[in-house]
Amino acid sequence: MFQRQLFVTALFSGLLALLLLGCGGRSNPAAMTDGNLLLRLQANGHARVGVKLDTPPFGFPLAGQPAGFDIDVINDVLSRLRINRITYVPVTSANRMDKLLSGEVDMLIASMTITRARDRQVDFSIPYFEDGQGLLVAADSSIQGPADLAGRKVGATRGSTSILNLRQVAPRAELVEYANFNALTKGLIEGEVEAISTDTTILIGLARSMPGGTQSWRLAGNPFSTEPYGIAVPKNQSDLRSAINNALMEMWEDGDFQMLYDTWFGPHTPFAGLVNFGITPYPR
């Protein structure tokens, strides 16, 4: 009896010691965030953000640094979340989803359309921009819109909504998939394809860096899709997603968002009149 009691007491104190040890091991603040990504990022003051470097005007290199509308938006959002150190991780349309799913990045701001299919794998913020898909062709091309693509080669980037939309609007076009936007523009310049297709603002952004610029390349037809852009975060991180949404709505209310928007898309930019976007903040 006594022995058994002794054994139970020993077992109990052993368990207690283990429990205390366990708590002692959690002195690192980042470790106390229990899978809550927002708390972890705030404890570290650091986030790894997947951004584009081939997608002007959203993400491209400028003097060796990532620049663009996406970069400005995420800097403002994260500073409101008191996350002041950002590592930009270059992503492409083709690999951005995998980089978020594998945990290589904490979030994506990468000209990424919110779709219901993507939403099954990751979560999205409220839209921070909206564009529509278009076609870019040589200025002297006979292509006037998607209806003229039948039997002709048209390029788009792998992993983009552009491929899916093209299959709908131009089912008889011959689709050529490219790994990224640099390869896509090269395909058009070298005559591998007669048209390339993605969101209209990106097409103008790309055309400006192609030989001859917007004198030599033009949009063909009207936008033929709706592309609401969202910041993607891992699934079930509702604190992070809400904090990002609130930051975007605050930016709209205090004028920061409009200022960034006008810098990139306002009347004095090459994108004037192409897009018209505003955030609708939720009621307080």
Residue ranges binding ligand GLU (CB under 6 A): 55, 93, 110-113, 157, 160-162, 198-199, 202, 227
Minimum CB–partner distance for residue 240 and ligand GLU (Å): 20
Minimum CB–partner distance for residue 202 and ligand GLU (Å): 6
Minimum CB–partner distance for residue 150 and ligand GLU (Å): 23
Q: What is the dihedral of CA 270, 272, 276, 279, to 10 degrees?
A: 70
Which one, 54 or 106, has the nearer CB to ligand GLU? 54
Minimum CB–partner distance for residue 253 and ligand GLU (Å): 26
Minimum CB–partner distance for residue 157 and ligand GLU (Å): 5
Find the radius of gyration of the CA atoms of the chain: 24
Nearest Cα to 51, choosing from 74, 81, 83?
74
Indicate the SS3 state at residue 213: helix
Which one, 203 or 247, has the nearer CB to ligand GLU? 203
Nearest Cα to 197, choosing from 178, 172, 212, 216?
178
CA atoms within 13 A on the CB side of 281: 14
Which one, 73 or 83, has the nearer CB to ligand GLU? 73
Measured in degrees and rounded to the nearest 5, phi and psi for residue 36 equal: -85, 105
Query: Which residues, other chains included, contact 85 with Cβ-Cβ below 8 Å and sequence gap of 6+?
Result: 44, 45, 46, 47
Which one, 198 or 245, has the nearer CB to ligand GLU? 198
Minimum CB–partner distance for residue 221 and ligand GLU (Å): 17
Which one, 125 or 162, has the nearer CB to ligand GLU? 162
Nearest Cα to 198, choosing from 174, 173, 178, 172?
178
Which one, 42 or 113, has the nearer CB to ligand GLU? 113
Q: At what angle do helices 37-44 and 238-254 cross, to 10 degrees?
A: 70
Query: Which residues, other chains included, contact 64 with Cβ-Cβ below 8 Å and sequence gap of 6+?
Result: none
